[in-house]
Structure 1
Amino acid sequence: MTRTVFEKSDVIPLVAEVFRELGYEGASLSKITARTRLSKGSLYYFFPGGKDEMAAEILAHIDQWFIKNIFEPLEKDEPRSAINHMWQEVDTYFQSGRRICLIGAFALDETRDRFAAVIRQYFIRWIEALSAALVQTGISEETADQISEETIASIQGGLILSRALNDESFFERTLTNLSQRISTYISESNSGH
């Protein structure tokens, strides 16, 4: 039985989960229709450009979520509360490590070349936004850049290991350790060490 969908915004999360499960190459149109219970006609109505358009729309949707919930708060809000907010949002978005980073997954396979600019900009903006927030707390720019790169790499690695080990507590521990590490850097920079 096919599903009734009225808006493209309803379809994007459904198709995104198929891409998360099967990857870009594994998500054939027949598998997308089977897993989402959407007809081929509905998919082509919303995405006349086919699978490439689906992936582009999904990446744009993910990017907008991160801009609103993580990047802009890091760029505009009080830095300590924005960083604490980031940990909560990251844990929620990635479902405590049960959900892969689709942009990260796309960066690992042949899809990377199709969407290189979007993938690159997502990671650069996250690193730069976190670094800017850390600088506002009193950490030097060089140290903030290093911490930010290591933090985003650790989040991505934590997602992979959490899934590989089938242990969501691994991702939760990763976020806790990263949060404590950054709090220590902030405290030390404010105490003059």
Structure 2
Amino acid sequence: MASRMDRAQAVVAIGELFREHGYHGTSYGQITAATGLGKGSLYNHFPNGKEDMTRAVLAHVHGWFEDNVFGVLASKTDPMEAVDQMFVQVDDYFRSGRRLCLLGAFSLYDVRTAFDAEIVSYFSRWVETLAGCLKRGGLSAKESKVQAMACMVDIQGGLLMAHAFDDAAIFTSSLARSAKTLRAAMGDRVPA
């Protein structure tokens, strides 16, 4: 049994269980074993059970991306530098393709309807901030949106295929191709 975790640590551990076993496949026994928290402590931290746990996990993931990806894309002056940093952070977060995107996985499960707002918010924020960065890089509003959505398809599709084929190189190759595409799209259009 794991040593007893505080709520923040438990949220991270529960998120990893959801990644590994899915929402419905994760049992309270697995959660108590991973967190060191008994059912009473879990309900103290998460009064509505797995639903509260899931909302906390999704908020944690969204917060990490806000700090490390979305915020960088929105605030960095140099759009190419921001895009490059996004790819570094994404590769790190998804452990070079060995870690599934929890929100992507949830969007495929029957739990989607319960957490639709969180899932849509996460992906919309990513597409919007990336498109804004690409627009600062000289692309038209329409092209920025198209390129941002294509990048999301590369990232999420790369993760899914890497997991399906148990080959993380699929993800790293997809990231590299997407980075090259975005850099070429901005090319000489980056304002001086």
The TM-score, its normalising length taken from structure 2, stands at 0.94
Q: Give the Cα separation in 1 of the matches to 2:110 and 2:41.
A: 27
Stretch deviating more after TM superposition (136-145 or 36-45): 36-45
Structure 1 letter corresponding to 2:59: A
Does the 8 Å CA contact 2:130/2:148 hold for their aligned counterparts?
A: yes
Equivalent pairs: percent with the same residue?
A: 37
Structure 1 letter corresponding to 2:165: L
Q: 1:185 to 1:113 in 2, by over 3 A?
A: same
- Is there any run of 5+ residues in structure 2 with no aligned partner, and where? none
Q: How far apart are residue 85 of structure 1 and its match?
A: 0.5
Q: What residue in structure 2 maps to residue 48 of structure 1?
A: 47
Q: How far apart are residue 36 of structure 1 and its match?
A: 4.0
In the alignment, does 2:53 pair up with 1:59? no
Q: 1:44 to 1:190 in 2, by over 3 A?
A: closer
Q: How far apart are residue 45 of structure 1 and its match?
A: 2.3
- Is there any run of 5+ residues in structure 1 with no aligned partner, and where? none
Q: How far apart are residue 52 of structure 1 and its match?
A: 0.2
Q: Give the Cα separation in 2 of the matches to 1:175 and 1:154.
A: 7
Q: What residue in structure 1 maps to residue 81 of structure 2?
A: 81
Q: How far apart are residue 188 of structure 1 and its match?
A: 5.1
In the alignment, does 2:24 pair up with 1:33? no
In the alignment, does 2:141 pair up with 1:141? yes
For 2:82, what is the secondary structure of its paired residue? helix
Does the 8 Å CA contact 1:24/1:111 hold for their aligned counterparts?
A: yes
Q: Give the Cα separation in 1 of the matches to 2:135 and 2:67.
A: 21
Does the 8 Å CA contact 1:2/1:39 hold for their aligned counterparts?
A: no
Does the 8 Å CA contact 1:13/1:58 hold for their aligned counterparts?
A: yes
In the alignment, does 2:111 pair up with 1:118? no
Structure 2 letter corresponding to 1:21: E
In the alignment, does 2:107 pair up with 1:92? no
Kindly provide the CA deviation profile for residues 96-117 of structure 1, in whole angstroms up to 9, marking residues without a partner as x: 0111000111111111100111
Structure 2 letter corresponding to 1:11: A
Does the 8 Å CA contact 1:127/1:149 hold for their aligned counterparts?
A: yes
Q: How far apart are residue 2 of structure 1 and its match?
A: 4.8
Structure 2 letter corresponding to 1:89: Q
Q: Give the Cα separation in 2 of the matches to 1:186 and 1:55.
A: 38
For 2:138, what is the secondary structure of its paired residue? coil
Structure 2 letter corresponding to 1:186: M
Q: Give the Cα separation in 2 of the matches to 1:64 and 1:2.
A: 25
Q: What residue in structure 2 maps to residue 183 of structure 1?
A: 183
Q: Give the Cα separation in 2 of the matches to 1:18 and 1:44.
A: 17
Does the 8 Å CA contact 2:131/2:147 hold for their aligned counterparts?
A: yes
Equivalent residues, number:
190
Q: Give the Cα separation in 1 of the matches to 2:107 and 2:61.
A: 14
Structure 1 letter corresponding to 2:71: E
CA-based RMSD: 1.5
Q: What residue in structure 1 maps to residue 71 of structure 2?
A: 72
Kindly provide the CA deviation profile for residues 148-168 of structure 1, in whole angstroms up to 9, marking residues without a partner as x: 001101100000000111111
Q: Give the Cα separation in 2 of the matches to 1:143 and 1:189.
A: 13
Q: Give the Cα separation in 1 of the matches to 2:40 and 2:2.
A: 11
Q: Give the Cα separation in 1 of the matches to 2:189 and 2:92.
A: 29
